[in-house]
Amino acid sequence: MTTPILEIKNLHVKVEDEDKQILKGVDLVLPAGEVHAIMGRNGSGKSTLSYVLSGKDGYEVTEGQILFHGEDLLEMDAHERAAAGLFLAFQYPIEIPGVATMTFLKAALNAQRKSRGEDEMKIPDFMKLVKDASKKLEINPDMLKRPLNVGFSGGEKKRAEILQMALMQPSLCVLDETDSGLDIDALKIVSEGVNHLRAENRSMLVITHYQRLLNHIVPDRVHVFSDGKIVESGDRDLALELESKGYADFDGHAA
């Protein structure tokens, strides 16, 4: 049997310096090539899961483990995880004044290549790569000259995230509420961008609280997340069922 891309075993996480337990025993196996959706209410711990996966400071794993291609993910720094093929599309991409988007893209791509012991990209190759990928996402080249995410509309920010994902060619994409802040047209462009990246050697974890996104990015499995763990798993029909019944039927809490 091939090693799954991601394997989360009995993961317990609390906020550092606080006694607040957020994840309370998450188990998840994400095989290569599959797209899994995680659905849950606000505050159920979905975003925490994405931060713990990508290595954000401020969380403490108290129990359990995460294997990424069979390796202990928690041993790696955030930048090493990226170089190893993990990508988080942020719910709220950060604005960084003073750093041109192009400069950032080049620094990020080259840093990842360097971590993997590869040579830096030649500038013409890099320019061509960015140009082609931007075109698919209907990104105006002028946007890439602007400081990273500064003054970008909600839709532009999300498209810029997917552009980065396309350029970095990760093996695991974690999409955190990628549909938030998108109008229907932008949702379509972003979803097409994501679907285009579906591949046999790439898995995706799509975090959302609406079923809507899953009409565009059709998942292989759906997991319902409540109070820090997965309470129900099923195929994509589960998302539809959730949409019609609401979360209360699954976690027993009133909405």
Partner 1 sequence: MTKTQIKLNGAEEQLKALLASAGQDDAAAKFAEIGLPTRRIEAYHYTDLKTLVREVPAGIASDNDGPKANRSAFEGAARVEIVNGKLAGSFDVDGVEVAVSGNTGSGDDSVVLLSEALVGDVVEIKISGEVEQVLHIDRIIDGDAAINADKVTVTLDDGAKATLIETYNGSEAAHLRLATTEVVLGEGVEFAHLQLDGNSSETRHFASNRYELNADAQLQTFVQQSESQVARTTVSARFIGGGAHADFAGLNMLTGSQHGDITVHLSHLVANTTSTEVFKNVVNGRGKAVFQGKIDVAQPAQKTDAQMMCQGLILSERGEVLVKPELEIFADDVLCAHGATCGELDEDSMFYLMSRGIPRAEAKAMLIRAFLAEAFEPIEVYAVIETLEARVDSWLQEQEEA
Interface residues toward partner 1, by CB under 8 A? 54-57, 77-79, 81-83, 87-88, 90, 93-94, 96-99, 104, 107-109, 111-112, 115, 147, 164, 168
In the chain, DSSP finds a helix count (H) and a strand count (E) of 10, 12
**Min separation Cβ 157 and partner 1, Å:** 12
**Burial class, 113, CB count within 10 angstroms (exposed 0-12 / middle 13-18 / buried 19+):** middle
Closest contact distance (angstroms) between CB of 56 and partner 1 is 5
User: CB-wise, 87 or 247, nearer to partner 1?
Assistant: 87
Helices (H), 197-236: 212-216
DSSP H or E segment with residue 155: helix 154-168
In terms of CB distance, is 161 or 226 closer to partner 1? Answer: 161
Q: How far is the CB of 159 from partner 1 (least distance, A)?
A: 16
Q: Kindly state the smallest distance separating residue 18's Cβ from partner 1, in Å.
A: 16
Comparing CB distances to partner 1, the nearer of 168 and 218 is 168
CB atoms within 10 A of CB 94: 9
**CA dist., res. 148 & res. 25, Å (int):** 36
Number of CB atoms found within 10 A of residue 110's CB: 15
Q: What is the largest CA-CA distance in the chain?
A: 56
Of 91 and 226, the one with the shorter C-beta distance to partner 1 is: 91
Choose between 82 and 194: whose C-beta lies nearer to partner 1.
Answer: 82
Shortest reach from residue 224's CB to partner 1, in Å: 26
